[in-house]
Amino acid sequence: MLEDELLKWKFKRGSNEALTCIYEKYLEPMLTLAMGLLNDADAAEDVVQDVFVSFVKSRHNFRMWGSLSGYLATSVVNRVRDHQRRLRRQACRDTERRIAAEPARPDQAVILSEQAKLLTQAVAGLPDEQREVVLLRLKAGMKFRDIAKLQQTSINTVLSRYRYGLERLRSMLDGEVKEWNR
């Protein structure tokens, strides 16, 4: 917490070192979140890059209340939503080209373990709202209250989405998870 406050403070005053520290610290958590939400490595990289670029551009006037991790996680979710909206608009006329582009590029460098792949695919099978809640809670550590604010709904709805999401994941993954946790 204190470290992040110091990083924010230095970053706002133009410290490249602070920006690099923030990048090193949050690149993979953001990538994991974006990947979990999109199940698309290319798009996840784009989203994370966009979030960082926007973060840099807001350096002089950004107002960040609360935690840096919460701010970045919220930014990722908003970018993912934008991305999904764009995809939906393009879906009819562009489906074939998009699918063709989805396989990893030769220089693709997102690395997932087998377990992570399985989990990512399972999470991808959740409805958007449940997926957001599960990932924001478990991967970004956000409070349900803050997720409710982000989703513009009540905390009870968020809790339900979380519960339904986990139930659904459990049924999809069946006995796999128990095995890993031994």
Partner 1 sequence: MEPIRDIEEAIRKKLHVTAGSTLHDRVLARIRHAQEQYDETTPALTEPVTRRTIMKSPIVKFAAAVVVIVSILGGVTFWPGRGSKNAKWWLGPPAAWGQEIMDSLEKVKTLVYRQRFVFVRPYGSTHVSGSWERCYEAKDMSRKDAYYDSDLVGIQYNIPDGNNTIRYDVSFEYQCFTTVMYEGGAHGHDPVKLLRFYVGLLDKADRVLGTEMFEGRKCVGFEISADKYGNNPKEWIDRIWFDVATKLPVRIEKHNRPATDHPEQTFTFIQDQFEYYVELPVDMFTPQIPEGFVNTHPDNIRAERERQEKGEMVFADMPAGLKDEIVAALKEVKTAIYREGSMVVYLSRYVWRQDTYSEEGKLRKTEWFAIEKEDMGETSWDFNDKNYRLTQTIVNFENSSYTQAVHGANSHPQHPMDSILLLAGYVDLADRMLGNTNIEGIECFGLELSAKKYGTNPDGMLHRLWFNVETKLPVRMEFEWLRDDGKKSVMVKDHFDWNAELPADIFTPQIPPDFTFVEPDRM
Interacting residues with partner 1 (CB under 8 A): 2, 5-6, 8-9, 12, 14, 16, 19-20, 23, 27-28, 31-32, 35-36, 44-45, 48-49, 52-53, 56-57, 59-60, 62-65, 107-113, 115-116, 119-120, 123, 134-135, 138-139, 166-167, 169-170, 173, 177-178, 180-181
Question: In angstroms, what is the minimal distance from the CB of 45 to partner 1?
Answer: 6
72, 44 in Cβ contact below 8 A?
A: no
Question: In angstroms, what is the minimal distance from the CB of 69 to partner 1?
Answer: 14
Classify the C-alpha dihedral 57-59-60-64 as positive or negative: positive
59, 11 in Cβ contact below 8 A?
A: yes
Question: In angstroms, what is the minimal distance from the CB of 13 to partner 1?
Answer: 9
Nearer to partner 1, 45 or 146 (CB): 45
Measured CA to CA, the distance from residue 131 to residue 169 in angstroms comes to: 10
39, 120 in Cβ contact below 8 A?
A: yes
